């Protein structure tokens, strides 16, 4: 017998056709939610890499010791971009938490109801 989750239970009845259809739709919806989670995780990785690049203001060589990067060239723009990226990162991390909670709530194969 196929495993059921909250999503499947909510769109199916006791008919095998409805159950089969529910399993297909549930699989599609679960994969869509997993794709959403992966997409947010990728955006978070990109933002973290961007912050690493922005904060790398080390000297361009060990001989000149001249600092490099936007922090030196245009400090105001650098501060604004760093701040904007950090805010976007915090929002994306909150969005990821919600997306993972939704994945667990709606697509977990556990029989008991997930309490958030």
Determine, yes or no, domain membership for 52. Answer: yes
Determine, yes or no, domain membership for 115. Answer: no
Determine, yes or no, domain membership for 54. Answer: yes
Determine, yes or no, domain membership for 12. Answer: yes
What pLDDT, on a 0 to 100 scale, did the predictor assign at position 9?
72
Residue closest to 99 by CA, chosen among 50, 32, 21, 17:
32
What is the pLDDT of the chain when averaged over all its residues?
Answer: 84
Q: Mark 39-66 as b/e (b = at least 16 C-beta within 10 Å).
A: ebeeebeebeebeeebeeeeeeeeeeee
Token digits of residue 48:
């973290």
pLDDT in tens, 11-41: 665 677 777 888 899 999 999 999 999 999 9
Determine, yes or no, domain membership for 84. Answer: yes
Of 97 and 23, which is predicted with more confidence?
Answer: 97
Determine, yes or no, domain membership for 101. Answer: yes
Domain span at residue 68 reads 6-107
Determine, yes or no, domain membership for 78. Answer: yes
Structurally, how many domains does the chain consist of?
1
Out of 21-30, 42-51, 61-70, 89-98, pick the least confident.
61-70
Determine, yes or no, domain membership for 116. Answer: no
């Amino acid at each position: 017998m196929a495993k059921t989750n909250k999503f499947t239970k909510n769109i199916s009845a006791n008919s095998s056709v409805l159950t089969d259809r529910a399993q297909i739709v549930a699989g599609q919806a679960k994969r869509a939610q997993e794709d959403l989670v992966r997409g947010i995780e990728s955006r978070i990785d990109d933002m973290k890499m961007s912050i690493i690049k922005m904060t790398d203001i080390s000297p361009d060589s060990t001989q000149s010791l001249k600092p490099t990067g936007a922090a030196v060239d245009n400090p105001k723009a650098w501060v604004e971009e760093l701040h904007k990226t950090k805010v976007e990162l915090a929002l994306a991390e909150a969005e990821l938490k919600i997306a993972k909670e939704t994945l667990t709530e709606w697509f977990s194969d556990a029989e008991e109801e997930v309490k958030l």
